[in-house]
Amino acid sequence: EEIKAISHYISHQRGGHGCARDVIEQVMKIQGKWMNDGALHW
């Protein structure tokens, strides 16, 4: 609970059930890299 009290973001997904993807998606959205025009070009 200490960590939750100082956290900026708490995922609604559980570990092993999409938590890492959720956190990565949130970071990419903040950086403006999530599903932008160049997102699907390798």
Q: What is the pLDDT of residues 1-42, one digit of tens each?
A: 899 999 988 999 999 999 999 999 999 999 988 887 766 666
CA–CA separation, 33 and 30 (whole Å): 8
| Sequence ranges of the domains in the chain | 2-31
| Beta carbons of 19 and 13 less than 8 angstroms apart | yes
Q: Encoding tokens for residue 8? A: 């900026």
Please answer whether residues 34 and 25 qualify as being in contact, where contact means their C-beta atoms are separated by less than 8 angstroms.
yes
φ, ψ at 5 (rounded to 5°): -65, -30
**What are the structure tokens assigned to 30, written together?**
């903040």
pTM above 0.85, yes or no: no
